């Protein structure tokens, strides 16, 4: 039953996406990232202090590398939300499990440890790209093609960030510290963006949206962490795709988004490919039986579009 926390996490992240899309009418992407990160830094600092976990780390270089990948993914994902229907942007970012499998598979091939799963992996990747073609049909406008490319790239950086998180987890770094440094780098990047592009005028409505984005992001991360640490890892990983369903409902209710059957087919193909790669990776992990199981499982808690 603990895996069901992932449903709440998916719900929170989908609502956060609604907040980002609404807030984009008042703020730049950099401002949204800055305020979201500011709230994240404050909350994670308080949690780490309460748990007696020091902020200082011997793995600073890896934290910065992971955080740069994660913040880049976040900036691109938030930008794609401004161009695309919420469900479309969410689905493209959720291609990250496919990219992760491709990155890890390429690493295994270079190391000479690749196995018979390669052909299955290629099939899953082709399935996902067929889904992308269905979702971003040639008939869509230029803005949506631009947003679609941005959304795809955000998924790649999400995958790169996860690979770094996996390595940090293997080194025993607590997930709270990983999230703290991610938020801290996001804070700096957002601040630089604001200094260059300027700031927007605040209203109570806009400030409320920024506060909601930060709180929902933290709730989503906390719930997802509990689901991965206490529930079934495979079930939890697949329940994350409920976020696409939630986002589709918000899009239809708030912006009257209407996706045709080809778009729905594309979303289904991407979800299917993501689940297939998750199953393949789970099978490979079982066969490999890694020794540092507990840290790796903690690191899994970072797999989500809100890197």
pLDDT tens profile 129-139: 788 878 776 54
pLDDT, residue 215, reads 94
Domain-by-domain residue ranges, the chain? 2-302
Reported as a single tens digit per residue, the pLDDT across 74-109 is 999 999 999 888 988 988 888 877 787 777 766 666
163 pLDDT tier (thresholds 50, 70, 90): confident
Query: What number is the average pLDDT over the span 297-301?
Result: 44
Contacts of 140 (CB under 8 A, 6+ apart): 148
Nearest to 32 by CA among 211, 153, 185: 211
Residue 175: pLDDT band by 50, 70, 90 thresholds?
confident
pLDDT in tens, 223-255: 887 787 778 766 777 788 888 889 989 999 999
pLDDT band for position 209 (cuts 50, 70, 90): very high
What percent of the chain clears pLDDT 70, i.e. is strictly above it? 83
Residue 44 has pLDDT above 80, yes or no: yes
What pLDDT is attached to residue 142? 63
Q: 92, 132 in Cβ contact below 8 A?
A: yes
In three-state form (DSSP H/G/I as H, E/B as E, the rest C), the secondary structure along 231-287 is CCHHHHHHHCCHHHHHHHHHHHHHCCCCCCHHHHHHHHHHHHHHHHHHHHHHHHHHH
**Residue 274: both structure tokens together:** 């993501």
Q: Whole-angstrom Cα distance, residue 80 to residue 152?
A: 9
Which of the four pLDDT bands, split at 50, 70 and 90, describes residue 150?
Answer: very high
CA distance linking residue 3 with residue 114, whole number of Å: 31
Measured distance CA(192)–CA(296) in Å, rounded: 33
Position 169 scores a pLDDT of 82
Residue 74 is predicted with a pLDDT of: 94
What distances in angstroms separate CA 133 from CA 37, 94, 130, 171, 263, one per listed residue? 33, 15, 5, 39, 9
Among 223, 220, 233, 242, which residue's Cα sits nearest to residue 296? 233
Question: Has residue 302 got a pLDDT over 50?
Answer: no
Return the SS3 of 184. Answer: helix
How much is the pLDDT for 291?
A: 46
Mean pLDDT score of the chain: 84
From the CB of residue 252, how many other CB atoms can be counted at a distance below 10 Å? Answer: 15
| Nearest C-alpha neighbor of 151 from the set 87, 94, 93, 100 | 93
Residue 111 has a pLDDT of: 62
Q: What is the pLDDT of residue 54?
A: 94
Residue 196 CA to residue 173 CA, distance in Å, equals 34
Q: Are 307 and 162 in contact (CB under 8 A)?
A: yes
CA angle 164, 145, 265 (to 5 degrees): 80
User: Residue 226 has what pLDDT?
Assistant: 79
User: How many residues are listed for the chain in this entry?
Assistant: 307
SS3 135: helix
What integer pLDDT is reported at residue 222 of this predicted model? 82
Residue environment code for 202-215, b if the CB has 16+ CB neighbours within 10 A, otherwise e? eeeebeebbebbbb
270: which residues sit within 8 A by CB, 6+ positions away? Answer: 91, 92, 94, 95, 128, 131, 132, 135
């Amino acid at each position: 039953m603990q895996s069901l926390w992932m449903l709440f996490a998916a719900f929170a992240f989908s609502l956060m996406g609604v907040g980002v899309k609404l807030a984009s009418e008042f703020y730049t992407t950099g401002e949204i990232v800055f305020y979201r990160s500011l709230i994240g830094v404050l909350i994670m600092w308080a949690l780490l202090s309460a748990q007696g976990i020091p902020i200082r780390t011997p793995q600073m270089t890896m934290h910065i590398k992971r955080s740069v990948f994660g913040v880049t993914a976040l900036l691109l994902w938030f930008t794609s939300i401004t161009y695309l229907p919420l469900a479309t942007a969410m689905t493209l970012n959720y291609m990250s499990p496919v990219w992760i499998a491709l990155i890890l598979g390429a690493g295994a091939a270079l190391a000479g440890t690749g196995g018979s799963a390669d052909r299955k992996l290629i099939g899953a990747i082709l399935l996902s790209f067929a889904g992308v073609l269905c979702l971003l049909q040639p008939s869509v406008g230029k803005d949506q093609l631009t947003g679609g490319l941005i959304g795809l790239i955000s998924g790649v950086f999400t995958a790169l960030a996860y690979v770094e998180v996996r390595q940090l987890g293997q080194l025993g770094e607590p997930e709270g510290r990983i999230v703290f440094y991610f938020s801290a780098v996001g804070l700096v990047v957002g601040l630089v963006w604001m200094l260059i592009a300027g700031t927007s005028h605040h209203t109570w409505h806009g400030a409320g949206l920024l506060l909601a984005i930060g709180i929902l992001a933290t709730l989503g991360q906390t719930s997802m962490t509990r689901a991965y640490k206490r529930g079934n890892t495979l079930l939890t990983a697949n329940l994350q795709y409920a976020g696409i369903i939630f986002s589709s409902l918000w899009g239809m209710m708030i912006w009257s988004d209407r996706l045709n059957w080809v778009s729905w087919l594309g979303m289904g193909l991407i979800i299917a490919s993501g689940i297939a790669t998750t199953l393949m990776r789970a099978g490979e992990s079982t066969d490999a039986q890694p020794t540092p199981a507990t840290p790796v499982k903690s690191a899994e808690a970072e797999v989500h579009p809100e890197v």
